[in-house]
Amino acid sequence: MQLDAKIPGGPLTEKWDKYRFDMKLVSPANKKKLDIIVIGTGLAGASASATLAELGYNIKSFCLQDSPRRAHSIAAQGGINAAKNYSNDGDSIWRLFYDTIKGGDFRSREANVYRLAQISNNIIDHCVAQGVPFARDYGGLLANRSFGGAQVSRTFYSRGQTGQQLLLGAYGGLMRQVADGKIKMFPRREILDFVLVNNKARGIVVRNLITGKIENHAADAIVLGTGGYINTFFLSTNAMASNVTAAFRAYEKGACFANPCFTQIHPTCIPVHGAHQSKLTLMSESLRNDGRVWVPKTPGDKRSLNQIPESERDYYLENRYPAFGNLVPRDVASRNAKMQCDMGKGVGKTGLAVCLDFDDAIKRDGKDVIRKKYGNLFQMYAKITGDNPYESPMMIYPAAHYAMGGLWVDYNLMSTIPGLFVIGEANFSDHGANRLGASALMQGLGDGYFILPYTIGGYLAGTSMQKVTADDPEFKDAAKKSELRINSLLSIKGKRTVNDFHKELGSILWEHCGMSRNNEKLLRAQNLIRELREEFWKNVIVPGSGKEFNQSLERAGRVADFLKFGELIVIDALARKESCGSHFNEAYQTEENEAKRNDKDFCHVAAWEFAGDNKEPVLNKEPLAFENVELSQRSYK
């Protein structure tokens, strides 16, 4: 397949403005005649639906939950980046662009990242206009704090609930259009398949999760904002319902999947504490503004944490990375935590934890100041662990968190299936091999509010479209195939639960394709996943029927896709014979154990093309050209 990223020519700073001017427009009268399906009501999907409906298109909006407000985005904690430079500490659009490119270890597109930095400021203005209650400083300006990989404070926040407040803003915009009749809401629906007519995305098949009924919907274009795939790892910080099903179905229909092995492991999560856990909890990166990370200097030190004197603590991030200290990017912080624990310096019962200590900050600023900044996070930590973080250090460990990989999209956010646009965490987006904290919300809202509304218009204005309806044979065929798949899952009647399979897949990936990878482990993982998948289709038990509310069936469908997709993660990791960002292959490291890129052979996006069941996928490469920044070894020292 020939990938064309459609990056406009001209100087970097002018590309987006010029492109928007050159794009064909759909007249207001014609917008009213066009139907768009938007799947997902997280920050990406809700912002896109609201904006497209406001423009005049007819929108059908789908989500898994009972309310659009319950999308996983509601969980985002720490903040959203923008280059406003309110702190007057040297920030600029160019600096946000550069930090993001470098943070992603030079594996993202310059043009996309620059555009994102440009529109970051519009996002903040838009959200403020909606009434999002961002924190403010003493003078009334919006306050900022720092996140990893940046030496300026550019993160806007609403305590530790930024995602919730932003989503309520987008939800308000969405519901206003529902009330106006421009958006029709379809909650509790799961996408099962896409319908292509003349090679263009023209419809979807969904299952009503309450009644089990299969429904078909037709449109002129489809937008996928279904979030990330990190639940492939079973234990993660993501909402339980987050899945790869929609993206994987699109992949099977011809959309390339880009960089699936770029999986972010977040350094500060509450450690695993038992075999019966199904979820891990994030402790926001914002905590590293004030919390200091340390381990005991002596391996095997089992004293209680408060008894370990200052002179016997190793503040390893501050010592190793004096320029960025505790605010190094996530991949660097996670790998270092693992290295300390591998050396036997981990704390807690399992030895798989490091300390995040607020003692100095509390002595300096007082408990009340710290409570105001992080109160809800401290409360969450205390509730889950039974420990009081105001009195003794938090214990934290890395956990699977975010997907930098996703469906490949061009500059228009269109996948390799014409008419199928992908936004938010579901696309492979702008974060390269490692996402900087507070950049996902920026990207999801940038896609939904400010990029897609233009580019989808360009597509619709420039494409001739035949009329299709949900009763056409292509739709009936797709619905029949979905029903067959459901029936085959129900008919296995084996002995192992869906959860059991998912758990095993997660531990294979965590052990063999987690923070540190090597070729031997990756090959083993590929075999183990294949065997597990084979067993799944012979031995899974899915009780109940397809004609009712059946959560086991929902999960079975998602885990069946995770079992296929898990292998794609490993295949991609095997093919990328370098280390970059989150993808750390032990064979490629510097003398100081940092990721060592191979720009000569791997400065590209790996876009995988489906070749058929049980066939090796085809690797397509989109070369990455860096004309405005110099490729360098990433350093945070």
Ligand X SMILES: Cc1cc2nc3c(=O)[nH]c(=O)nc-3n(C[C@H](O)[C@H](O)[C@H](O)COP(=O)(O)OP(=O)(O)OC[C@H]3O[C@@H](n4cnc5c(N)ncnc54)[C@H](O)[C@@H]3O)c2cc1C
Residues near ligand X, by CB under 6 A? 39-45, 62-65, 71-73, 75-80, 162-163, 189-191, 225-228, 237-238, 242-243, 245-246, 282, 284, 401-402, 424-426, 438-441, 444
Give whole-number Cα distances, 602 to 168, 431, 630, in Å. 41, 16, 16
Shortest Cβ distance from residue 523 to ligand X (Å)? Answer: 30
- Are 80 and 162 spatial neighbours (Cβ–Cβ below 8 Å)? yes
* Phi/psi at 489 (5° precision): -65, -40
* Phi/psi at 21 (5° precision): -70, -40
Comparing CB distances to ligand X, the nearer of 425 and 594 is 425
Rounded to whole angstroms, the Cα distance separating 311 from 345 reads 15
Rounded to whole angstroms, the Cα distance separating 94 from 83 reads 9
Comparing CB distances to ligand X, the nearer of 72 and 345 is 72
Specify the pairing of strand 604-609 against strand 394-403. Answer: unpaired
Comparing CB distances to ligand X, the nearer of 438 and 522 is 438
Comparing CB distances to ligand X, the nearer of 45 and 405 is 45
Comparing CB distances to ligand X, the nearer of 62 and 584 is 62
Shortest Cβ distance from residue 440 to ligand X (Å)? Answer: 3
- 375's tokens: 């109160």
Shortest Cβ distance from residue 439 to ligand X (Å)? Answer: 5
Residue type, 600: K
Residue type, 231: N
* Phi/psi at 24 (5° precision): -70, 150
Scanning the structure block, which residue is given the tokens 């768009």? 36
Find residue 59's DSSP bridge partners: 36, 183
Shortest Cβ distance from residue 206 to ligand X (Å)? Answer: 7
Shortest Cβ distance from residue 622 to ligand X (Å)? Answer: 22
Rounded to whole angstroms, the Cα distance separating 268 from 288 reads 9
Shortest Cβ distance from residue 287 to ligand X (Å)? Answer: 11
Shortest Cβ distance from residue 302 to ligand X (Å)? Answer: 31
- Are 231 and 499 spatial neighbours (Cβ–Cβ below 8 Å)? no
Comparing CB distances to ligand X, the nearer of 26 and 247 is 247
Comparing CB distances to ligand X, the nearer of 38 and 542 is 38
Enumerate residues 6+ apart whose C-beta is below 8 A from 220. Answer: 34, 35, 36, 202, 419, 460, 465
- 131's tokens: 């009434």
Shortest Cβ distance from residue 217 to ligand X (Å)? Answer: 12
* Residue 79 C-beta-side C-alpha neighbours within 13 Å: 27
- Are 130 and 172 spatial neighbours (Cβ–Cβ below 8 Å)? yes
Enumerate residues 6+ apart whose C-beta is below 8 A from 268. Answer: 282, 283, 284, 285, 287, 288, 333, 356, 396, 398
Comparing CB distances to ligand X, the nearer of 65 and 589 is 65
Shortest Cβ distance from residue 288 to ligand X (Å)? Answer: 12
Sign of CA dihedral 46, 200, 407, 428: negative
Give a three-class secondary structure readout of 564-630.
Answer: HHHHHHHHHHHHCCCCECCECECCCECCCCCECCCHHHHCEEEEEECCCCCCCCEEEEEECCCCCCC
Specify the pairing of strand 292-296 against strand 354-357. Answer: antiparallel
Known catalytic membership, residue 530: no
Residue type, 346: G
Distance from chain centroid for Cα 33 = 33
- Are 516 and 335 spatial neighbours (Cβ–Cβ below 8 Å)? yes
The three-class DSSP label of residue 479 is helix
Shortest Cβ distance from residue 514 to ligand X (Å)? Answer: 17
Rounded to whole angstroms, the Cα distance separating 26 from 495 reads 55
Single out the catalytic residue among 107, 330, 533, 558. Answer: 330
Comparing CB distances to ligand X, the nearer of 554 and 594 is 554
Comparing CB distances to ligand X, the nearer of 116 and 361 is 116
Rounded to whole angstroms, the Cα distance separating 237 from 399 reads 7
Q: Which residues are catalytic?
A: 330
